[in-house]
Amino acid sequence: MNSTTDNEWDVAVIGGGPAGAALGTFLSRAGHRCVVLEAAHFPRYHIGESLIPHTHGIFDRLGLLPKMRTSHFPVKHSVRFVSADGHEATPFYFSETIEGDRARTWQVERSEFDMMMLDHARESGVHVRDAGVKEVLFENDKAVGVRLNGSTNGEELRAKVVVDASGRACVIGRQLHLREELQDLRKASAWGYYRGGKRLPGIDAGETTMFMIPGGGWFWYIPLPDDIVSVGIVADPHYLLGDSDDMETAFLREVSKCAALSERLVSAERIGPVRGSRQLAYLNRQTSGDGWVMIGDARAFLDPIYSSGLYLALGSAELAAGSIDAALKSGDLSAAKLGAFEPALWKGVGIIRQLIHAFYDPEFSFPKFARRFPEQRAALIDCLIGDVVGKDMSSFTAALEQMTPPPGPLGG
């Protein structure tokens, strides 16, 4: 390492998940000295297992495609919706709008996938430290470094740019009191894992299946390696949990009530605990400042319905890396320069959010939308594959608004 000291860095990244690992890889390859600080011992458990095809280009630019292609992760070609009465709609195949290898993606076991990404960051020149961050250091409202956890002497690392990739921990958001729940997307979730769940034949074996339930809730069914399936429910917290926090009771009750899902699990064995969260959606009122930037779930999380979490983690990391690279080279580490990527990203997030609200409208469904606006089917698939950032989707959103009202301003 050509540093004069291991306490001075171009970029200090809080969190070694996919967002932090990807950002570190991009910036290290651009010639910047990056340290990733991760408190957890990898491999570690994490939810969020389904990728969408628009990550293909990011993996290619990261140099990760060869590892993904030789992995044992199930290949995902499509998304299927099953109505509350058990009717299965025609799958939305990604190949309808994408040609060749880019029309597929993977269902990943996160402990293995996240370890792969962090190891790849190391191989790309990123320094990874097993250390948590107690707080971000500021001088005159500009981030200048971090203070580490568990350090008897209050060890500090100085950095020209601090990046919060801490996921739901939202280190900077909580420190600066920027994090707030999204009241218009109040959903709870509970999930577990089964061995031996049924899989469909052929290329449908790795699809994500969404099982609708009455009242606007839904289940995901995601095939994983080693004959494991991830099964989770998202629903109104009062319906799912009431005044209780008993995730296991709520989860098993709802699985037994969903006949189409139960049929897939008739010969399966549940393994491990049921996990959950009473409130999924949140955002930060400000996501970049002088000397600092947020990426991935540290910025915001809306809803798991379109499997957009990992894509937004990787996509925001790549976009932020471009802005940070330009800022470091110019010497301008202002919020405007570091956050130059944000308008395009937030516009894409807004489209995803509008589609989330449409999904939870009881009068709306994707099959009905595709029948009424067949010319928008390709645009709908673009949303399902994540191709929404930097793209004109105005005709699609106008059609969407003819069937369901749009949400209010983000954060309102």
pLDDT in tens, 146-165: 999 875 567 899 999 999 99
Q: Which residues contact 237 (CB under 8 A, 6 or more apart)?
A: 186, 187, 188, 278, 279
What pTM value is reported for the model? Answer: 0.93
More confident residue, 24 or 383: 24
- pLDDT beyond 60 at 2: no
Look at residue 410 in the predicted model and tell me its pLDDT.
65
- pLDDT beyond 90 at 368: no
Mind listing the pLDDT tens digit for each residue in 107-118? Answer: 999 999 999 999
Phi and psi angles of residue 187, each rounded to the nearest 5 degrees, phi first: -135, 140
111 three-class SS? helix
Look at residue 308 in the predicted model and tell me its pLDDT.
84
Q: Which residues contact 128 (CB under 8 A, 6 or more apart)?
A: 16, 35, 36, 38, 118, 121, 122
Look at residue 349 in the predicted model and tell me its pLDDT.
87
- Given CA atoms 298, 302, 308, 312 in this order, what sign does their dihedral have? negative
Mind listing the pLDDT tens digit for each residue in 179-207? Answer: 998 888 899 999 999 999 999 999 999 99
pLDDT confidence bin for 5, thresholds 50/70/90? low
Identify which of 142, 127, 177 has the alpha carbon closest to the alpha carbon of residue 24: 127
